[in-house]
Structure 1
């Protein structure tokens, strides 16, 4: 989960004084009130709860430091080692690290958990500093790339950041639902889709998720691919078995293998069963999304078959 708070940060800070160097400091329980709460009356103070053994912290920390130093004293970064300040971490309910809070006028304002990509960190600080805000197109592309690469956890963060500023963004909502499907949360996705109304419910990105959901539900009853492979070895022209094998492979997460089987069917007989292999192939691609590597390469292969 990206955001800790439900309320969005204001677009301009309430404090007006700014900070003198150093803009990045280490603090502890005894100095927290002065370094963070009182200091936040001069502008946003970002608190990074971290630990030396934390791998993601080693990525997030330097990225935050760089971005804060670029703000010319309008934002301060305070780093808290949770191993040395366990009571303070407990007070702020830090359950995993890295955890980041932003304070303004003595109160927590915004926050997130986990190591975010730099574009999302910049958007987070922009919201505190009165900057331009989230580059939705860039974050959307980043989320899709992460999802296509098999990283739904980080992709979910990107899509949720977009929804935090535009609750009705169809692409971001579709991205969140695709991530949930990757987590196996089929019923949750069905409930959301059933509750949607036009025009959001009929948007192309949402209808593609419906296709993905239908395939995920069918995958729960997919056959064992081994007997189907045996049938194809005996009769490579058995298109029924090849179609069933494609569905079985897709259900087991082998999207490339599934699409390759359908492309092979089309190479052998593109008109079989009124183009059933092509229809199924298009469903797979719709479920995967237009930027997925299997979709991109598959479309090239299909064009080669159809126009050869």
Structure 2
């Protein structure tokens, strides 16, 4: 295995790599900070015995990585609202120590309890690989070309390029995702799902694969979306008609108005967080996963959702 951890910026200082993070700095240091470099978040407490063992070992591994990953330390006793909010958003933080790896704004891996140093090193090595730190033999340029083709509407041509990349690297999560999204663009949703189902198990939970699954789910919703004007009128007539508001959000997204859809879902969540088993929050996460992590709709939507949860 290539030693990715030894190939990053050796000049990175411990102060830059390892930081104590609070509710106020979480978005900047973890969510925004992980857009370029993965961030491992250590949830700990002063009274936790295993935390006292794991923390220094994790810090040593991060320092050894020389900038390939960064670390955020969150004292759950001093940041109870933050820990509770993250748990509400799906992170299993019932026990500590819990270590959650964030990349491109969202959690991609985690473990709980103290681990041997060798397993911690392997965890960080895998995370660095997920971030694409290895040489790709030129496939990265081919991926960029295919993505540009897809954005320009040449889905069929892009699909051929993504398929060719998979011929060279059958474990390329971006290529599987890209090929599936090409089929989505061509209205071939069953074929898109078949592509993702054929991805190797070890990459089945990669962020790119999850994003493609989200796009397929949204595309299926779009097939049954109602008329925007009628649904908007229903919401205006009765703002507490939460089903109409949810249907309006789906229709807006189907019409290409993702930001407006997010605003309706945020308003629904603000009015009743638990409506329909938390459907508003689940739909928000589906939209966020389908978009690029640094999309303004995602960044603004996540901030607004956090502010509602913290309120």
Whose radius of gyration is greater, 1 or 2? 1
